[in-house]
Structure 1
Amino acid sequence: MKRIHFIYLIAITGVLFLGQQTSQAQEKLTLQQAMQMASQQNYSLKRAREQARIAQNNVYQGNAGLLPTVSLQGGINYSNNNSTFEFASGDTQSQNGAVSVGTNASIRADYVLYNGGVNKRNYESLKLAAEQGNIATQQVKQNVLVGLVASYYNIAELQENYRVALEAVKISKDRLERAKKRQEFGTSNSINVLNSEVSLNNDNLTVVQLKQQLRNAKRNLNVFLGRDINVDFTVDSPGEFKAIASLDKLKDEAYSKNVQLKNIKYTQLTSELNLRIAQGSRMPTVALNASYGFNRSQNQAGFILVNQSLGLSAGLTITYPLFDGGIRRKNVQNSKISIDVAKTQYEEIKQQIDRDITNAYANYENNLNILKLNQQNEVIAQKNFDAIKSSYNLGQSTNTAFREAQLGLIRAKINAINAKFRAKFAEMSVLLLTGRLLEESPGGKK
């Protein structure tokens, strides 16, 4: 008996402390605010944007070989040698410590006039890579939003479950007080009091567990928001369900806006460009070069003491690949295979989206129907509990009947809450697959 009272005291103290903490002012975080914050601060999204910036910075003609290269070169050579010269006449000439100094400087320009269009295709490939980088950023943002919305709704669901648990504690406390008074007046026995205390303890433990789950869920959401994980806040209950179009319209919307399909489409375009690059490598390369240079050589030994030149030189080279071990032929074959792979992957993902959107739409409608049934059941359970409670207060219902009615009401409320959030998750799946989740987020596709 003393042990039960001790547990009861600890549980009540914990609930009062938690209630006091909850009553303190907390940040009210709306879903739109959370999405805006994640769009600006989420670490994964920041990293994806920086990678997209790198791909965008790579898009310039010089990186594709479309611009000439200009280089400046200069040098000086020094030598000190003992030299001996022997002439055809038989005479010889020797000089020790003969110094020779050579200097040179030049500016050179090289430009590829033609190489089968490879450089132009490389430039187009760089632009495609930049666009695909933006698509990859959208995909990362979409994944972040999915996790964020799921985490947000999880907190909202736990908040509502926590509210139901607090209501259960309040009812159990009232029941315990009545049981104690009845025992004092001799209309009840200690067993009813003990049963009431056990029920209250169980309800208090549920509150404590839900409070910890809420703390963990808030830390998870703070990670998505890219801020201190210990920031406390409350969230809004989800609003009205969005208007969902017919299944056929949803499929058309998904085919045109789904990020995965867009990404595969760019992969296919890149493979087609790689094929044209591989085919272009079979063509000759025509390159132009020109240089303007200065050369001077000064010697203390030999016939020519000073040799100096200054002037312009230019040249045109044509290179035609005759044989490279079959590398270019294999590159062409592999590029064609890559195109087929991309087409197959596109059709595969399209089929998966067709399946997923059909399932998501069916789940959404089914969960809405389940929600209506659970809401009706909650109304019935509330009426049943109110009737049993009135009867119990008059001493006409047993302690067991009261607890069963209370548990039935709790289950009905929890089931209605769970059904509501399952329907919201199903709605989110539809918005995700059709690309609307990304479009309707703060900042859109950026």
Structure 2
Amino acid sequence: MSKWIWIGMILAMPAWTQILTFEQALTRAVQNNHQVAVARNLAAISENNAFAGNAGLLPQLSFSGGSTYSNVDGSGSAATSASVSAVYTLFDGFGNVYRLKGLQAGKRLGLLRARDQIESTLIRVGQAYYAAASDYENWLISRELLEISRERAARAEKRSDFGRAGAIDVLSALVDLNRDSVTVARARFAWNESRRQLNLLLNQPVDEEFEVDTTVILTPPMDREALVRGALARNAEYLAAGEQVGQAQYDYLNAYAAHLPRLDLSASYGLSQASIDPVVRLNDPVITARAGAVVSFNLFNGMKTRIQRQNARLLLRNQEILQEQARLQLEKEVISAYEAALNSLLVFDLEKRSQKVAELNFQRTRESYQLGQVTTTQFREAQLNLIRAKSNLSAAKYQSRLNQVDLMRLSGRLVTDDDVLCR
């Protein structure tokens, strides 16, 4: 096979495929990602747990019934009974009320943890998406590198045929051509692999083909203080720390409730009948109705209640300390992300300038090379400088975009409650 046919196969572009935008990738992840589905189910469990019956605020109602038959010395008898009973705790030091409030705080905590998990997943999707975009652009850049080397090798061969170039020039061009062919092959593999990784995160067939949108709009971040205020008001991880403080407060109040008296109410209604026949019947039953109230008060249980209350107070204090730590950590992360966003915009601007300089340098070097005024080494150096400049600009562009996305996550603007609840 001719080397030019082989190079043409490497340079050939695949058939057109659909373009997957960044927003579409995030939407598919929210809808289909496995970790998102697990987080959403855990949030639903927390929501299911937050009801009055789970806190002991609703009565318990039960039914029992049965029939027995006995035979003693040839004399048989049967007994049949059925009853309904209800038990209700009217007062337990408001412990049931505090338990319900704790469960409601747990419901909110579950939603926040689910949102935090979804946000973390979307960050991974964003990283995978822009890694794929970067690999795709690097593949295109490497193809441009190969095309330049192909033209150089063809020109060197023609010049050699006319005796205007030596064998060393031809061999040097062919060496660079082969090296660039390897670069294209590796770049194409990296692009396909990053696309498979993105497919995995989106829960779609790993061999599904698509192109990514390489257009990125970069804007300066909003005021730093506004970002910090927004993060303290909406950041899922920080709000979760606040809900944990609330839960600890209700646990402490529930532990204190054990020092107060308890009032339980009970009632039952039953039917019973005895007969000498082995037949289940309640045609002439004895009706029994009962109602009662029981007051209990813990005088001494080995100081277990007191120790539980002390431990609950310490756990509350721990949660308050962790909340303060979470606040400081969030402020630090927001400020660091803000500075990173500004710095990445500066780097992107500098890389754009570097690319313009590299393009101008390559154009002039190329003209001089065609006139025989520069060596092949100088031409190759200008060529590689241009490719590196384009690759660096691509990397700076996507890193800046990822910094923007991270700021959205920290400030609680990446995922909404509707995304968590799948509404």
TM-score of the pair, normalised by structure 2 = 0.93
Say if 1:308 and 1:240 are closer, same or farther in 2 by CA, change over 3 A.
closer
In 1, Cα distance between equivalents of 2:267 and 2:34: 50
Given the alignment, which residue of 21, 25, 45 partners 2:36?
Answer: 45
Question: Corresponding residue for 1:277?
Answer: 254
Structure 1, unmatched stretches of 5+, are 1-5, 82-95, 301-306
Alpha-carbon contact 2:116-2:237 (below 8 Å) kept: yes
1:64 partner amino acid: A
- What are the within-5 Å matches in structure 2 for residues 111-126 of structure 1? 111-126=88-103
Given the alignment, which residue of 61, 66, 72 partners 1:75?
Answer: 66
**1:363-404 deviation digits (Å, cap 9, x = unpaired):** 222222222222111111111111111111122222111111
Given the alignment, which residue of 172, 175, 190 partners 2:167?
Answer: 190
Shift of 1:30: 0.6
Given the alignment, which residue of 393, 404, 427 partners 2:404?
Answer: 427
In 2, Cα distance between equivalents of 1:68 and 1:367: 61
Q: Are 1:130 and 2:121 counterparts?
A: no
Q: Which structure has the bigger radius of gyration?
A: 1
Say if 1:263 and 1:137 are closer, same or farther in 2 by CA, change over 3 A.
same
**1:277-336 deviation digits (Å, cap 9, x = unpaired):** 111122221111111112233469xxxxxx963131111111212222322212211211
Alpha-carbon contact 1:12-1:204 (below 8 Å) kept: no
Given the alignment, which residue of 179, 182, 199 partners 1:205?
Answer: 182
Shift of 1:151: 0.9
1:282 partner amino acid: H
Q: Are 1:252 and 2:229 counterparts?
A: yes
Report the secondary structure of 2:71's partner residue: strand
In 2, Cα distance between equivalents of 1:357 and 1:287: 52
Given the alignment, which residue of 101, 105, 130 partners 1:153?
Answer: 130
Q: Which runs of 4+ in 1 moved over 3 A?
A: 15-20, 297-300, 441-446
Shift of 1:234: 0.7
Q: Are 1:237 and 2:228 counterparts?
A: no
In 1, Cα distance between equivalents of 2:318 and 2:247: 12
Shift of 1:214: 1.0
Given the alignment, which residue of 326, 333, 347 partners 2:324?
Answer: 347
Report the secondary structure of 2:374's partner residue: coil
In 2, Cα distance between equivalents of 1:232 and 1:54: 37
Alpha-carbon contact 1:291-1:313 (below 8 Å) kept: yes
Shift of 1:159: 1.5
Say if 1:443 and 1:18 are closer, same or farther in 2 by CA, change over 3 A.
farther
Given the alignment, which residue of 2, 5, 17 partners 1:26?
Answer: 17
Question: Corresponding residue for 2:368?
Answer: 391
Report the secondary structure of 1:228's partner residue: coil
Shift of 1:16: 4.1
In 2, Cα distance between equivalents of 1:335 and 1:18: 68
Indicate the larger mover: 211-220 or 98-107: 98-107
Question: Corresponding residue for 1:378?
Answer: 355
Report the secondary structure of 1:436's partner residue: coil
Report the secondary structure of 1:218's partner residue: helix
**1:77-106 deviation digits (Å, cap 9, x = unpaired):** 22223xxxxxxxxxxxxxx33323222211
Please tell me the root mean square deviation across aligned C-alpha atoms, in Å.
2.2
Question: Corresponding residue for 2:312?
Answer: 335
In 2, Cα distance between equivalents of 1:147 and 1:16: 36
Shift of 1:427: 2.1
Say if 1:444 and 1:327 are closer, same or farther in 2 by CA, change over 3 A.
closer
Q: Are 1:99 and 2:76 counterparts?
A: yes
In 2, Cα distance between equivalents of 1:101 and 1:44: 60
Number of aligned residue pairs: give it.
Answer: 416
Given the alignment, which residue of 52, 57, 77 partners 1:66?
Answer: 57
Alpha-carbon contact 1:279-1:332 (below 8 Å) kept: yes
In 1, Cα distance between equivalents of 2:5 and 2:343: 40
Indicate the larger mover: 191-200 or 327-336: 327-336
Question: Corresponding residue for 2:85?
Answer: 108
1:80 partner amino acid: N
Alpha-carbon contact 2:221-2:341 (below 8 Å) kept: no
1:390 partner amino acid: E
In 2, Cα distance between equivalents of 1:72 and 1:445: 38
In 1, Cα distance between equivalents of 2:263 and 2:135: 70
**1:26-51 deviation digits (Å, cap 9, x = unpaired):** 12001111111111111111111122
Q: Are 1:417 and 2:399 counterparts?
A: no
Alpha-carbon contact 1:39-1:442 (below 8 Å) kept: no
1:164 partner amino acid: I
In 2, Cα distance between equivalents of 1:288 and 1:445: 39
Question: Corresponding residue for 2:268?
Answer: 291
Report the secondary structure of 1:102's partner residue: strand
Report the secondary structure of 1:23's partner residue: coil
Structure 2, unmatched stretches of 5+, are 278-283
2:400 partner amino acid: A
Indicate the larger mover: 194-203 or 393-402: 393-402
What percentage of aligned pairs have identical amino acids?
Answer: 30
Alpha-carbon contact 2:238-2:330 (below 8 Å) kept: no
**1:406-425 deviation digits (Å, cap 9, x = unpaired):** 11111111122222222222
Question: Corresponding residue for 2:281?
Answer: none
Question: Corresponding residue for 2:344?
Answer: 367
**1:146-165 deviation digits (Å, cap 9, x = unpaired):** 01111111111111111111
**1:201-240 deviation digits (Å, cap 9, x = unpaired):** 1111111111111111111111221111111111111421
In 2, Cα distance between equivalents of 1:201 and 1:353: 51
Report the secondary structure of 2:57's partner residue: coil
Say if 1:127 and 1:54 are closer, same or farther in 2 by CA, change over 3 A.
same
Question: Corresponding residue for 2:293?
Answer: 316
**1:120-142 deviation digits (Å, cap 9, x = unpaired):** 11221222111111111111110
Say if 1:18 and 1:178 are closer, same or farther in 2 by CA, change over 3 A.
closer
Alpha-carbon contact 2:40-2:420 (below 8 Å) kept: no
TM-score of the pair, normalised by structure 1 = 0.88
In 1, Cα distance between equivalents of 2:289 and 2:24: 67
